[in-house]
Amino acid sequence: MNDFTYEEMFLVEAYGGGTRTGTIEALSAMRGHLEEDETELRELTDSTIQKLSALSDQDYSSTPLYDHEWNPFTES
């Protein structure tokens, strides 16, 4: 999962469905609600779904996606 960008990992964390397939389903459902002008989020969602689809369930469940200790919204 090293090839996921921070933004993709954030999407997986935000829409994580508990399993790889559940996450793909949640992201696909969210994608269906995007407005026509939300092209960047649509492209990000598509790349995330593509990368998740290429993973095995074991790789998905054994890899931490997001460092909960790190908060990009606080100053160090």
The pLDDT value recorded for residue 16 is 86
Domain ranges of the chain: 6-62
Instruction: Say yes or no to pLDDT of 8 above 80.
Output: yes
Instruction: Say yes or no to pLDDT of 76 above 60.
Output: no
Q: How far apart are CA 66 and CA 64, in angstroms?
A: 6
Q: What is the mean pLDDT of residues 44-64?
A: 91
The pLDDT value recorded for residue 30 is 97
Amino acid at 14: A
Percentage of the chain lying above the pLDDT 90 cut: 59
User: pLDDT digit string (tens) for 28-49?
Assistant: 999 999 999 999 999 999 999 9
Angle at 49 between CA 45 and CA 53, to 5 degrees: 175
Mean pLDDT of the chain: 85
Q: How far apart are CA 6 and CA 30, in angstroms?
A: 19
